[in-house]
Amino acid sequence: MSLFSRFFPFLRPYLSQMVGAGVMVMGVAALNLILLRMAGTLWDIVTVQRDVDLMTNTIIIFLGIAVAQSGLAMGQSYVTTQISQHIMADFRTNLFDHLQQLSLKFFAKRRTGEILSRLMNDVGVIQTLVTETPIDSAKHLVTFIGGIGFLLYMNWQLCLLILLLLPALVFVARLFGKRLKALSTNIQDQTAALTTLIEEVISGIRVVKSFVQTSREHSRFGKALQALVGMTLRRAAILSVFIPTITLLTFMMAGMVLWYGGKQVIDASMTPGDLLAFVLFAGILIGPFGSAARLFSQIKEAQGAMQRVFELLDTQPEVMEQPQAITLPTVQGHIQFSNVSFAYDPRQLVLSDLSFEIKPGEFIAFVGPTGSGKSTIANLVHRFYDPTSGSITIDGHDLREVSLHSLYRQIALVPQETILFGETIFENIRYGRDTALEEDVIQASQAANAHDFIMGLPDGYQTMIGEKGINLSGGQRQRIAIARAIIKNPRLLILDEATSALDSESEQLVQQALNRLFAGRTTLVIAHRLTTIQEANRIFVLNKGVIVEAGTHASLLQREGLYRHLYTLRMAELEESTESQVEER
């Protein structure tokens, strides 16, 4: 299916309006032709017939038509803009919704800026072509057909002279077209690269500043921008030769018409008014020719943009809901891994043949060296990925057989880096459950030890949160995230323990909040710091994707195993940092 026909479903709801705008624009073009013809007639009335009354009446009709033409043009312009904005809003929403459906694997591979660029820049390029251009083309079509028809009727020899130029125009368009297309694709790629760079620098601004790398980023940005400017200038250079060449060809046509027609007026085989109308008609034919050239370059540009946008739309989520997926009933929280292996990249297994069981309400911690697969287990339980082999069940239901919505509804994830959205604190907590009332939000905040500090803020719960909650401390952000999880009231909780240490008071508040959150739910904690998990019912120790030890903190410490080794290392680290803090004081 061609790229353009794939866009058709988005135009369909607006077809009647588009046809309306098309009819209006055709009316504008037709009235325009009539006005030009009348200009010729008027000229003959003035110079040949010399009849004042006839002239006055003709001018009144002329002005009436001009008013009607302007009215139609205004209506058409308004309708066209409306349709164009709505179609693009629908298309962007569709793309945005599709993006939200895609699996984590997709986002792990793509850079945010590149996705942003497709959603905003590429869709913008397509917008003009698929909405405004067809309507404009309708206008040019009427002008072209009406114009040529009239010229043929008036003087077919003169008209053939004009048509002789057509092959030359096609030749010029082909000559430039290929180079324009290649350049347009490069320009869009480079625009995406630039957007990516800006996005990276803005989201990593703290790292940029703290490593004093603003000048390095300046030069990275400068280089990428220069490349873009270079390409855009090359395209402009081609266009600056291309469009004037077409215009020159059309002026040559006008010159020939004037010469040949002028001879006929001198021979008295044509009236001056007819020649004037003829020249005016030939003149407005420049419009369709010129716009055909522009249209050609727009089509090439939009083809590249469409390719990139449809590539996104064609990407299927890796984690798919089966058509016969059942709704997962409210679960007890019994999790079973049976011979689960997993690989992000087929060449490297990250988890090998894992089998374990977690009973409802258990508090389980996963520990292990970095890269041992702890977060991967959490991703699998959340069904962000499917196992490469083996199965995971909750209360006996294979995760692949239940609907994603009914599974996600029962899990709360408290990630390592607290993500808060640019809304009020109240809305950020209510994110956990849309139907929550004000008192639910307050109760959850109290349980999360967040209520007091929230009430201490000038706008309380209505305080807006800056991007990623930049105006709150780490511990405060975590407590809001915990309140959000509490309000969701999930059966299953996955906590990716934050790696950065909080001060001891904040740590205690967060820990109390977590204990309230853990109560009565199956809880999986990915432990990076080994300080928060001594209460765990069981600790699974992972190494290279295999569980090498399991047991309580006390029983694992008694063994001379990996846990004891990791724990001893951690304690030594803590002691060292406490000593250095004491020395600093």
Which residues contribute to the site for ligand ATP (CB under 6 A)? 108, 344-345, 350, 368, 370-376, 528
Nearest residue (CB) to ligand ATP, 414 versus 450: 414
Instruction: At 92, list the tokens.
Output: 């962007």
Report, in Å, the least distance between residue 530 CB and ligand ATP.
Answer: 11
Report, in Å, the least distance between residue 385 CB and ligand ATP.
Answer: 9
Report, in Å, the least distance between residue 498 CB and ligand ATP.
Answer: 11
Report, in Å, the least distance between residue 341 CB and ligand ATP.
Answer: 13
Report, in Å, the least distance between residue 109 CB and ligand ATP.
Answer: 8
Concatenating the DSSP letter of every residue in 318-338 gives SS---TTPBPPPPP---EEEE
Nearest residue (CB) to ligand ATP, 10 versus 384: 384
H helices of 165-213, in order, are: 166-203, 205-210
Report, in Å, the least distance between residue 355 CB and ligand ATP.
Answer: 18
Report, in Å, the least distance between residue 387 CB and ligand ATP.
Answer: 13
* 388 three-class SS: coil
Nearest residue (CB) to ligand ATP, 181 versus 570: 570
| Block residue for tokens 């588009």 | 18
Question: In Å, how far are 18, 118, 341, 523, 542 from 352, measured between CA atoms?
Answer: 58, 38, 4, 23, 11
CA distance 502 to 488: 25
Report, in Å, the least distance between residue 373 CB and ligand ATP.
Answer: 4
Nearest residue (CB) to ligand ATP, 21 versus 350: 350
Question: In Å, how far are 193, 222, 225, 420, 467 from 198, measured between CA atoms?
Answer: 9, 11, 11, 21, 16
Nearest residue (CB) to ligand ATP, 255 versus 371: 371
CA distance 355 to 365: 15
Nearest residue (CB) to ligand ATP, 155 versus 372: 372
Report, in Å, the least distance between residue 241 CB and ligand ATP.
Answer: 48
CA-wise closest residue to 357 among 316, 324, 329, 396: 396
Nearest residue (CB) to ligand ATP, 37 versus 528: 528
CA-wise closest residue to 274 among 480, 87, 36: 36
Report, in Å, the least distance between residue 383 CB and ligand ATP.
Answer: 15
E-strand stretches of 76-162: none
E-strand stretches of 3-85: none
Report, in Å, the least distance between residue 105 CB and ligand ATP.
Answer: 7
Amino acid found at 273: G
Report, in Å, the least distance between residue 348 CB and ligand ATP.
Answer: 7
Nearest residue (CB) to ligand ATP, 14 versus 366: 366
Instruction: At 161, list the tokens.
Output: 């002279």
CA distance 20 to 35: 22
Report, in Å, the least distance between residue 382 CB and ligand ATP.
Answer: 13
Nearest residue (CB) to ligand ATP, 115 versus 277: 115
Concatenating the DSSP letter of every residue in 424-484 gives BHHHHHHTT-TT--HHHHHHHHHHTT-HHHHHTSTTGGGPBP-GGGTTS-HHHHHHHHHHH
Burial call 38-63: b when 16+ CB within 10 Å, e when fewer: bebbbbbbbeeeeeeeebeebeeebe
* 548 three-class SS: strand
Within 13 A of 342's CA, how many CA atoms are on the CB side?
Answer: 29
Nearest residue (CB) to ligand ATP, 45 versus 495: 495
Backbone angles phi, psi at 545, to 5 degrees: 80, 15
CA angle 99, 101, 102 (to 5 degrees): 70
Nearest residue (CB) to ligand ATP, 345 versus 583: 345
Nearest residue (CB) to ligand ATP, 100 versus 370: 370
CA distance 184 to 199: 23
Nearest residue (CB) to ligand ATP, 274 versus 497: 497
